[in-house]
Amino acid sequence: VENVPEKIDYVFKVVVIGDSAVGKTQILSRFTKNEFCFDSKSTIGVEFQTRTVTIKTKVIKGQIWDTAGQERYRAVTSAYYRGALGAMLVYDITKRQSFDHVARWVEELRAHADNSIVIMLIGNKADLVDHREVPTEDAVEFAEDQGLFFAETSALSGDNVDKAFFKVLEEIYGVLC
Ligand code: GDP
């Protein structure tokens, strides 16, 4: 069996940021491998994973970058943001503090990333409804205020994960092309 190499029209770099333990790695593996790993260890050495999708007849390779735990040491460097066309800014709907820190992450993006970067605010762990600490309306208001897209996702169930990534890739395509 031969592998027919696919013709890639574009490669879009998307970074995943946010506090530690909000589910960044799981969101990434849900989107790129349709997997959720219950005993996730930080993926040391792996900088990004990819998934190729078709948007309006164009073949687009999403190159999705993970901080691999660096955010714990506030060591996310400008190299991480370099060339990024999209950002998934993740908080945990069951951890108010992770939402309170979102403004700082937006500042970080504004300081290090390209001005035209497409930002999607993501409230993850939406399956944990009984433990919710962040009302959807608070996030909607913040997102509108800052000009961000917004979605609530569950990496565990897979809810909205593809939709959020497709939205970002489509928006990037719309900005560029
Ligand atoms: P990261 O540090 O932001 O990369 O977070 P991880 O992806 O390592 O996830 C942190 C913890 O939250 C792990 O124990 C995951 O299993 C759990 N987790 C991640 N996403 C979800 C989700 O959507 N729902 C639930 N219930 N747990 C999640």
Beta-sheet strands, E only, within 4-163? 10-18, 48-55, 58-65, 86-92, 118-124, 149-152
Task: Pick the atom of ligand 1 nearest to 29's CA.
Answer: 7
Q: What is the pTM of this model?
A: 0.93
pLDDT in tens, 39-87: 665 555 557 999 999 999 999 999 999 886 677 666 677 888 999 999 9
DSSP 104: H
Query: Do residues 34 and 54 make contact, with C-beta atoms less than 8 angstroms apart?
Result: no
Assess: ipTM above 0.95.
yes
- Return the best residue to mutate from 33, 38, 40 for the ligand 1 pocket (most ligand atoms within 8 A of CB): 40
The residue whose CA is least distant from atom 1 of ligand 1 is: 21
Chain segment 75-123, per-residue pLDDT in tens: 677 888 999 999 999 999 999 999 999 999 999 999 999 999 999 999 9
